[in-house]
Amino acid sequence: MEGYGIVSRNAKGEAVRLIGVNRDITARMQAEEALRTLNTELERRVEERTAEIKAINKELEAFTYTVSHDLRAPLRAMHGMSQALIEDYADVLPPEGVEFAQRIEAAAQRMDRLIQDLLAFSRVGRKDMRPRPVSLHEAVEAVLSTLSPMFEEVGADVAIEGTLPTVIAHPSTLDQVITNLVDNACKFVEKSTAPRVRLSAETRGSRVRLWVADNGIGIEPKHQERIFRIFERLHGIETYPGTGVGLALIKKAMQHMGGDVGVESEPGKGSRFWIDLPAVSDGE
Ligand code: ADP
């Protein structure tokens, strides 16, 4: 039961009447109880499903890792044998035979690249990825120095604008993310254009956004979401080589580090990829 009462007063303020209402609230309490039970049940089922999905994901990752790893041995044999054919038997093989061996060799190399990328993809999140404060500036400088022979080869002008702050990240995973972004920025450029890449950062509340801006071919808005899925590529490998794993790895890595990734781009006007990472809060 639930009761309400109102005191009615006369002009002098004296209580003259008490009006009361009693209501049976059994039905409401039963409905509330049913809702509580339903909520608890729903939470239990969400937890159960999440655990199932996590287990399936783990299994899938273990599968990808094993398959990729085991595929490398027969691939090495293919690679070794085709090279032996090209090097040791070129004079006894007809030109067509040498060409076939070269094609086997090229295909083996492509497959090895793909397997290495898949292994790297499945490694993200497998190891302990405990994040810690990392100087974004030092991380970017180290990556740029490693990639400098490639910059020279393609005539790329790559530079940091301003200083980059400290973020919370997993160091080697962050290196891989930056490497993939800069590598793409130098790759997806018109053949006649020298790549120009600029890296800069801005703090947005509790996060730091690192921008990687290029002067490349750009990406149509309708493709800007799907390129982050594994094996999604917008060009044939003859035009731009690649496996379609790089951005998917970045997305997975950023999710594991509590961050995010995205792009702003227009065809013909270059792309501005960004990654968000937790900033270092006071006291860290
Ligand atoms: P890959 O570089 O091996 O092709 P990614 O996963 O790194 O694979 O990229 C997926 C696709 O997204 C690329 O094939 C390309 O079409 C597009 N892309 C990525 N980075 C850029 C960029 N900086 N400019 C234009 N297109 C890009």
Atom 27, ligand 1: residue with shortest CA distance = 188
The answer to whether 237 and 183 are in contact (CB under 8 A) is no
Count CB-CB contacts under 10 A for residue 209: 18
pLDDT at position 66: 84
Could you tell me how far CA 207 lies from the centroid of its own chain? 16
Strand pairing report for 260-265 and 271-278: antiparallel
Whether residue 223 has pLDDT greater than 70: yes
What's the rounded Cα separation, in Å, for the pair 281 and 284? 6
Please tell me the distance between residue 40's alpha carbon and the centre of ligand 1 in angstroms.
Answer: 44
Phi, psi of 33 (to 5 degrees): -65, -40
Whether residue 282 has pLDDT greater than 70: no
The predicted model scores a pTM of 0.79
**Closest of 118, 157, 163, 110 to residue 139, by C-alpha:** 163
Cβ of 120 below 6 Å from ligand 1? no
In whole numbers, what is the pLDDT of the chain averaged over residues? 91
Please tell me the distance between residue 261's alpha carbon and the centre of ligand 1 in angstroms.
Answer: 14
pLDDT at position 207: 96
Whether residue 199 has pLDDT greater than 60: yes
Cβ of 117 below 6 Å from ligand 1? no
Count CB-CB contacts under 10 A for residue 139: 21
* Mean pLDDT computed over 103-124: 89
* Mean pLDDT computed over 155-168: 96
Cβ of 274 below 6 Å from ligand 1? no
The structure tokens listed for 164 are 């980059």
pLDDT at position 4: 77
Closest atom of ligand 1 to CA, residue 230: 6
* Mean pLDDT computed over 27-33: 90
Q: What does the DSSP assignment read for 88-131?
A: HSTTTS-HHHHHHHHHHHHHHHHHHHHHHHHHHHHHTTTS----
Whether residue 10 has pLDDT greater than 70: yes
Whether residue 162 has pLDDT greater than 90: yes
Whether residue 45 has pLDDT greater than 60: yes
Q: What is the pLDDT of residues 130-144, one digit of tens each?
A: 899 999 999 999 999
pLDDT at position 13: 82
Cβ of 215 below 6 Å from ligand 1? no
* Position with higher pLDDT, 159 vs 18: 159
Cβ of 126 below 6 Å from ligand 1? no
Whether residue 28 has pLDDT greater than 80: yes
pLDDT at position 284: 55
pLDDT at position 67: 81
* Mean pLDDT computed over 264-284: 89
* Mean pLDDT computed over 33-38: 93
Please tell me the distance between residue 185's alpha carbon and the centre of ligand 1 in angstroms.
Answer: 8
CATH number of 132-278: 3.30.565.10
Atom 23, ligand 1: residue with shortest CA distance = 185
The answer to whether 160 and 121 are in contact (CB under 8 A) is no
Length of the chain: 284
Please tell me the distance between residue 246's alpha carbon and the centre of ligand 1 in angstroms.
Answer: 8
Whether residue 37 has pLDDT greater than 60: yes
